[in-house]
Structure 1
Amino acid sequence: MDSNFIPKLVNGYQSPNMAEAHAAVAFQFTVTPDGIDLNVNHEVLKAIFDSGKRSWGDKFRRFQNHMVTTTYPASPASWLAVLVAIVACILAKMDPSLGVIDFIKDHFLPVSLLGEMVTASLSVLIFVTLLWLFIIYMLRYTLKMILSYRGFMYETHGKVSWQTKLWLISLRVFCARHPKLYSYQASLPNLPLPKLKETMERYLRSVKGFLSPEDYGEMERLAEEFQSSIGDRLQRYLQLKWLWSTNYVSDWWEEYVYLRGRSPIMVNSNYYGMDGIAIKPTCFQAARAANVTVALLQFREEIDHEVVKPIMVQKAVPLCSQQYERAFNTTRIPGLETDRLIHHATSNHIVVMSKGRYYKLIIQSNGSLIKPCELEKQYQEILDDPEEHHAERRLAALTAGDRIPWAAARQRFFMDGVNKTSLAAIETAAFVVVLDEEVHEYDIEPLREFLKNQEIPSWVKGDPFAQKDQGDGKLDKYAASLLHGNCYNRWFDKCFNLVVFKNGHIGLNAEHSLADAPIYSHTFEDAVVEDMLHMGYTPEGHTNGESTRVLKAPQRLQWEIPSELEDIIETSYQVAQKLVDDVQIHVRVHNKFGKGAMKKCRISPDGFIQLAMQLAYYRDANRFCLTYESSMTRLYREGRTETVRSCSVESCDFVRTMEDPDSTKEEKLAKFNLAAVKHVQSYRDAMCGKGVDRHIFCLYVVSKYLNLDSPFLKKVLSEPWRLSTSQTPPSQTGKVNVNKNPECLSAGGGFGPVADDGYGVSYIIAGENLIFFHISCKNKTGNTNAIRFGDNIEQALADILALFDKDN
């Protein structure tokens, strides 16, 4: 045997192939003249037993949760209550079934075979079960009707109609029991399908403000031609889909908008989230990675056990929780024509990327999660591994480049051998942890007021609030690293990458097709709060607790990278690098005022900010543009998003008035209030299924299936979104009082620009006096600049606030 093949046992390391071969054998036997010599490996048998026990426990738990969820708003125990009631009536010589029990006994059960007593008992049980199912169906249907009410969305602040009060009482009666994560799913109403005429009217009104009279007249002609020709036919097909499916938009949206895209998903699709604004609780990379990893895995368990509370609007109306199902253990698989999402019910490992190397790390021991202190040692072992990376250093660039080369390479080079095994480890992992070699930091100065009450971690030396350099782009570099890294140190196909920087700050890069930003915002917020407020660290900055178990060492994933594959990786890297070089990211910290001042003006904070961005864009580009604001439709089953067209007739009138030197302050304020009211109305309409863009998108998909061309649909869907915006919810967990612990607030996250000559803006209203704007654009047109646009946003916010009387 070649001496190089001998397992390395120096530092406790054993060759992965040899270790796996040994572990795979639970028992061995040898035939001798004296009989059979049986050698049993008790450790492996115990591992098999624990694995089986855990697997059956998971199946039982899922069955139990399924029963509780299916019967909500009743409960499985309610069957017993119905049985007791029916038996009591029978004993009282009453027939509550009105003859149905006797009918079941006489026509469906063999009396002669089972006997009178058994047949009578079975007929009662069958009737009780049928009655119980009918009651559950009626309760669910009634709850669905109650949840279909949307009048509460349009109530004036401070004024509640008697209809809404009655609705609230009914809702509280039906939702008295503590719901599980998916309890409301079957009772959520279906997304309504708007009438074709109403969508056409809304669309035309949405573009009237910024189109020239000639262009608007042309759009009116195309819309009328569409309605009078193929529009009604497409609408009828769409009505069939609406009747047949739980959501007429979501599956097509996922497939055609996300999975069929052949361009890189890095920057173009994936989005990022940032750490809490607090002074980081530790400077040790391994310790922070361990705490946050365990916190995320605990949240995954809460999702599996369905103990996460459903998100409620106004603490009364549940949102759809369907997207949480794939938040973990999910990977996007590249295809030549379309990608697909693969979700695994469970996973007992994560994959760690460090210095161009990949490691498989088991996260469970004896049926339970490993402790943060145990995981910190594992991470530190990875960081201290002296072995250099090999040709796999830029392997992840395949997930950052175009999809077709990656799909072809996967089919050719990753279908057998060590490449198949190692790729399967990544694709079946719960998520990917990136131990990044870079250092990123918040600038303390603009956050000084919000951090003044934070307890300074003991590891901090000196005064953390000492004056720091400003304008050096710290947050910009931080955000850019999370969005794209160096093009090969993120596995962009994974559900999410937890990025842990060398100095202990963290972030998230998430794949967009499987879940929208609020889902991972909730997930990440929960993990950060657990890490900072509950898990904690030692005074030196290490994780709490002591490790007493001997755990399996991290397994280095092996790869075979032939020269042809190296060329494909290099090509993907060049494509990704060219995209990154063209993207500019800027994070603006607005600390002059926040939602507190906006509410005193009696204006919706979202409306205030959206109108400020309309004014900012006009000053930046000297024109209006089609504006996308993401609104959720999760009031409906399997709902995701709808577009709020923020550039309206009213917003354009307001901007023109603001820029007119002859306009008075009163005129400007009147136009602003009118535009703000219109924006709030449009946002509510989008949430209630009365949007424009998802309906038109589905009509377009139907037209493609029928091979029908429509100049109107082509025109609408080819219009560029030069300003694409989204608001990140500031707090969803309810686990932290943001007024008491403002340092736990996140700076939010962002995404890449949608149009080559436009801006992508994500913002989070992080407190009464703090707003983060994540602004992205591309450099190649030369007409956009993220820092300049940030300046314009701040100036627009100040100019609007100046319209209001400071004393009021």
Structure 2
Amino acid sequence: MLGILARTMVKAGMVKPSCLVKPVSVTRIAGRYLAHQEGLPKLPVPPLQQTCERYLAALTPIVDPEELNHTRKLLEEFQKPGGVGERLQKGLEQRGKKMENWLSDWWLQTAYLDYRMPVVVHSSPGVVLPRMEFSDRQGQMRYAAKLIAGVLDFKSMIDNETLPVEYLGGKPLCMNQYYQVLSSCRIPGTKRDTVVNYTLDKRPPTHITVVHNFQFFVLDVYNSDGTPLTVDQIYIQLEKIWNSSLQTNKEPIGILTSNHRNSWGKAYDNLIKDKTNQESVRAIQKSIFTVCLDAPMPHASDDMYRTRAGVQMLHGGGSRWNSGNRWFDKTLQFIIGEDGTCGLIYEHAPAEGPPIVSLIDHVVEYMKKSEMVRTPMVPLRMPQKLHFNITPEIKMDIEEAKQNMNIMVHDLDMKVSVFSHFGKDFPKSQKMSPDAFIQMALQLAYYRIHKRCCPTYESASLRMFRLGRTDTIRSMSIDSDKFVKAMDDPAKHNIEKVALLDKAVKAHRAYADMAIRGQAIDRHLLGLKLQAIEDLAALPEIFMDTSYAVALHFNLSTSQVPAKTNCVMCFGPVVSDGYGVRGPVEQRGFFRLSGHSGPGPRRRSSC
């Protein structure tokens, strides 16, 4: 396909604008956040007929004609005047009038907190930062100290409500997610989890947690006068932590957080029965964020380094390596490896990728600042080591979590590929959306491998609306189906193939624009289903239909988060026979995620 479209491939120029976020004021702007939020529109409830028509169109290329005809009849019955669909639609519209956002609470519960698979691989994305060349342990500590200072610098804008408001197409975006990622943590339950944010406590947290050799420490990062520690002060404290955690025979208590949520919920209840354990767990949960000082991973060649680093961010490499050097429930975990591998993993429930990437861009730029302010050495309290009493039952839970983690690691195929022939400027020169262009390439790749089309998920931001999260852009469409089937048809001329690509790209762009305006189908259908459940009514047949199950089985789960920093984002597939594909489109090229197969159904992820 690329050969047809580009006879001459030109690499786009490198443009590196400053990524440092500038506060809108040097002093606190109290109430600015709430005033901004109240000015945003509410998420609309799309028209019922519109959603049903678009749902049928989305099903057309992925279900057989007989099943499609059956679904069409169910939808006709569902939409009858005075019928169940009309009643549920009115219920949603009433909910939309009463609530800030009719979807956000439901989405948090169904997509994250009710989801019982491990957060590792299944939910939490990882981010790989540019590789560092540490010549010694001091280099690792110095990098970690500067990173911590950079995050605290970003936090000051959140605390002071001076974070600049973001815009899309001239319209302001909801900034709520920025206020949820620090000092927050997921709490396991035996049937449903919760998310707690401690920023509104009477005494907001002033500490981070640092984990090294599976041992956790509380590190206060503010002086008694409220000023953050300097880089030098943080460095000294990290040195103390390192020297206090040289013993490596400790149980990897953190690996418990990687287990199936029901199993972890039961183990959690047992763990915190002990008062010492409870206090240690609470200290981790309430911390501003976590820093993981990792042991070196197995050596990888230069061309495999990004893949190995992606694996380290996504799951830590298994129980032999760094998977126990985590608290996966913590919203933000920054990872600094002894071998120079750096990045983070974030628990997905409180926020999507863009706020995380914005924070990363700021921190990486902050760390480039060469000036070092050497402050007078004042006595600093020794970082507090967190202790855990490991009973035989807890030991068994840890061993179970180790085994399950190692199975997940083995079951995931991952590959990070850098496509450097051309960047986003080429599709733009052809008047094509770079995002849509990549989505069509993924459709074609999947079709060539599997000889069929599949439901494809791409996230669309709903941040134009108050408390907006995401909806689904369905990249597989009638037009993309025609394009991929024509590409390998020798009877089709190149000019016809290019025309079909152009039409598929435009169809994708139109659906994406519709989605960010709150007019896509997936969240609306979910809302209708949950409204029926809340009304204690019988579930409409359209939600028990085979077509609905097929439509939600996303063999391709994709996302593209633009980043100014040269970082690689990665996440796992959402189904066992699927692919997770994430690639930030940078000016210098596309990062593409691709998988390689193994025996039996495999999860495949790439960046």
Return the offset for 1:775. Answer: 4.1
What TM-score comes out, normalization by structure 2 length? Answer: 0.88
Note if contact 1:277-1:746 (Cα within 8 Å) is conserved in structure 2.
no
Note if contact 1:277-1:747 (Cα within 8 Å) is conserved in structure 2.
no
Note if contact 1:292-1:531 (Cα within 8 Å) is conserved in structure 2.
yes
Return the offset for 1:774. Answer: 3.4
Name the residue aligned to 2:589. 770
Note if contact 1:747-1:772 (Cα within 8 Å) is conserved in structure 2.
no
Return the offset for 1:764. Answer: 0.8
Return the offset for 1:215. Answer: 2.4
Instruction: State which of 215, 231, 237 in structure 2 corresponds to 1:378.
Output: 237
Name the residue aligned to 2:361. 525
Distance 1:438 1:664 in 2: 53
Letter in 2 for 1:477: R
Name the residue aligned to 1:226. 78
Note if contact 1:436-1:502 (Cα within 8 Å) is conserved in structure 2.
yes
Letter in 2 for 1:205: A
Return the offset for 1:511. Answer: 0.5
* Residues 280 and 243 of structure 1: CA distance in aligned 2, closer, same or farther (over 3 Å): farther
Return the offset for 1:579. Answer: 1.5
Letter in 1 for 2:306: L
Letter in 1 for 2:162: V
Deviations 1:142-196 (A, max 9, x none): xxxxxxxxxxxxxxxxxxxxxxxxxxxxxxxxxxxxxxx5542111111110111
SS at match of 1:379: helix
Note if contact 1:475-1:587 (Cα within 8 Å) is conserved in structure 2.
yes
Deviations 1:333-352 (A, max 9, x none): 11122111111122111111
Return the offset for 1:678. Answer: 0.8
Name the residue aligned to 2:167. 312
Name the residue aligned to 1:359. 217
Instruction: State which of 68, 85, 102 in structure 2 corresponds to 1:216.
Output: 68
Distance 2:573 2:159 in 1: 35
Name the residue aligned to 1:482. 313
Return the offset for 1:545. Answer: 3.0
Distance 1:194 1:655 in 2: 30
Distance 1:319 1:785 in 2: 33
Return the offset for 1:572. Answer: 2.1
Note if contact 2:43-2:468 (Cα within 8 Å) is conserved in structure 1.
yes
* Residues 611 and 387 of structure 1: CA distance in aligned 2, closer, same or farther (over 3 Å): closer
1:427 equivalent to 2:427? Answer no
Distance 1:440 1:770 in 2: 28
Distance 1:640 1:418 in 2: 37
Note if contact 1:728-1:748 (Cα within 8 Å) is conserved in structure 2.
no
* Residues 730 and 662 of structure 1: CA distance in aligned 2, closer, same or farther (over 3 Å): same
Distance 2:577 2:561 in 1: 24
* Residues 651 and 530 of structure 1: CA distance in aligned 2, closer, same or farther (over 3 Å): same
Letter in 1 for 2:479: E
Name the residue aligned to 1:710. 540
Return the offset for 1:390. Answer: 5.4
Note if contact 1:753-1:778 (Cα within 8 Å) is conserved in structure 2.
no
Name the residue aligned to 1:568. 397
Return the offset for 1:475. Answer: 1.1
Note if contact 1:587-1:775 (Cα within 8 Å) is conserved in structure 2.
yes
Q: Which runs of 5+ in 2 are unaligned?
A: 1-26
SS at match of 1:760: strand
Return the offset for 1:783. Answer: 6.9
Return the offset for 1:760. Answer: 0.7
* Residues 337 and 785 of structure 1: CA distance in aligned 2, closer, same or farther (over 3 Å): closer
Matched ranges for 1:654-673 at <5 A: 654-673=483-502
Instruction: State which of 759, 762, 777 in structure 1 corresponds to 2:579.
Output: 759
Note if contact 1:726-1:762 (Cα within 8 Å) is conserved in structure 2.
yes
Distance 1:192 1:376 in 2: 49
Matched ranges for 1:243-282 at <5 A: 243-276=97-130
Matched ranges for 1:103-252 at <5 A: 183-228=35-80, 229-252=83-106
Distance 2:594 2:544 in 1: 29
Matched ranges for 1:679-690 at <5 A: 679-690=508-519
Distance 1:484 1:641 in 2: 25
* Residues 575 and 183 of structure 1: CA distance in aligned 2, closer, same or farther (over 3 Å): same
Matched ranges for 1:635-674 at <5 A: 635-674=464-503
* Residues 369 and 530 of structure 1: CA distance in aligned 2, closer, same or farther (over 3 Å): same
1:65 equivalent to 2:35? Answer no
Return the offset for 1:201. Answer: 0.4
Note if contact 1:269-1:511 (Cα within 8 Å) is conserved in structure 2.
yes
CA RMSD, aligned part only?
A: 2.3
Distance 2:353 2:554 in 1: 19
Q: Which runs of 5+ in 1 are unaligned?
A: 1-60, 70-180, 444-468, 537-542, 732-744, 791-808
Name the residue aligned to 2:8. none
Matched ranges for 1:478-517 at <5 A: 478-485=309-316, 486=318, 487-517=323-353
Instruction: State which of 553, 566, 575 in structure 2 corresponds to 1:746.
Output: 566
What TM-score comes out, normalization by structure 1 length? Answer: 0.67
Distance 1:234 1:282 in 2: 63
Return the offset for 1:520. Answer: 0.8
Distance 2:307 2:296 in 1: 14
Deviations 1:300-356 (A, max 9, x none): 111111111011114x32110011111100011111221111111221111111011
Which of these two proteins has the greater Rg computed from alpha carbons? 1
* Residues 656 and 776 of structure 1: CA distance in aligned 2, closer, same or farther (over 3 Å): closer
Note if contact 1:238-1:698 (Cα within 8 Å) is conserved in structure 2.
yes
Deviations 1:22-52 (A, max 9, x none): xxxxxxxxxxxxxxxxxxxxxxxxxxxxxxx
Distance 2:345 2:217 in 1: 19
Matched ranges for 1:44-55 at <5 A: none
* Residues 646 and 227 of structure 1: CA distance in aligned 2, closer, same or farther (over 3 Å): same
Name the residue aligned to 2:10. none
Name the residue aligned to 1:595. 424
Matched ranges for 1:425-464 at <5 A: 425-439=283-297
Deviations 1:719-773 (A, max 9, x none): 3100110001223xxxxxxxxxxxxx22231111011111110011121x31112
Count, aligned residues:
564
* Residues 280 and 311 of structure 1: CA distance in aligned 2, closer, same or farther (over 3 Å): farther
Structure with the largest fraction of helix: 1
Note if contact 2:581-2:605 (Cα within 8 Å) is conserved in structure 1.
no
* Residues 475 and 262 of structure 1: CA distance in aligned 2, closer, same or farther (over 3 Å): same
Name the residue aligned to 2:414. 585
Instruction: State which of 428, 436, 441 in structure 2 corresponds to 1:612.
Output: 441
SS at match of 2:30: helix
Name the residue aligned to 1:286. 141
Return the offset for 1:210. Answer: 3.2
Return the offset for 1:440. Answer: 8.3
Distance 1:260 1:390 in 2: 35
Note if contact 2:210-2:218 (Cα within 8 Å) is conserved in structure 1.
yes
1:727 equivalent to 2:557? Answer no
Q: Larger relative CO (CA 8 A, sep 6+): 1 or 2?
A: 2
SS at match of 1:65: coil
**Percent identity at matched positions?**
30
Deviations 1:502-554 (A, max 9, x none): 1333201000011111111111111111112x256xxxxxx763551111111
* Residues 241 and 780 of structure 1: CA distance in aligned 2, closer, same or farther (over 3 Å): farther
Note if contact 1:350-1:432 (Cα within 8 Å) is conserved in structure 2.
yes
Name the residue aligned to 1:349. 207
Letter in 1 for 2:69: G
Letter in 2 for 1:723: L
Note if contact 1:351-1:429 (Cα within 8 Å) is conserved in structure 2.
yes
SS at match of 1:630: strand
Note if contact 2:270-2:394 (Cα within 8 Å) is conserved in structure 1.
no
Distance 1:252 1:717 in 2: 19
